[in-house]
Amino acid sequence: MSTSDTLSRIAKVFGELGQGAPDEALKRVLFQQLAEDFAQLSLDLATQVGWYAVSGTSSMGGFNTATVTLPELAQNVKALIDAGIARGEIGP
């Protein structure tokens, strides 16, 4: 299932819940569906693939956008990529 399909299902369930579910059994089913859809969505969005570690020096320091040098900018980009890989947000 695609991310857009999952989002559509979530929106539909919220719409049904907003109209008021007729009984507790249906509410349980709808909330279970929401839980499953959110779990699927988190899997869909968990890791963006295609990112690889960058060699060289990283820097998490700030810089002035008017005077930053290419090496300074590259070091900050490397720090961002390293952090994303370490947290499992991006990866190969």
- Return per-residue pLDDT of the chain as tens, 92 residues: 677 787 888 888 878 777 776 677 887 888 888 888 887 777 776 666 777 888 998 988 777 778 888 888 888 889 888 888 887 777 77
pLDDT of residue 62: 79
Are 65 and 37 found together in one domain? no
On whether both 39 and 61 belong to a single domain, the answer is no
The residues pairing with 91 across neighbouring beta strands, listed in sequence order, are: 49
* CA–CA dist 56, 23 (Å, integer): 60
pLDDT for the residue 23: 78
**Whole domain around residue 36: which residue ranges?**
3-46
Residues 72 and 86 in one domain: yes
Q: Are 14 and 35 in a shared domain?
A: yes
CA distance 11 to 22: 18
If asked whether residues 36 and 9 sit together in one domain, one would say yes
Q: What string of H, E and C letters represents the secondary structure of 48-80?
A: EECCCCCCCCCCCCCCCCCCCCHHHHHHHHHHH
State the pLDDT at residue 38: 81
- How many domains, the chain? 2
| Co-location of 55 and 79 in the same domain | yes
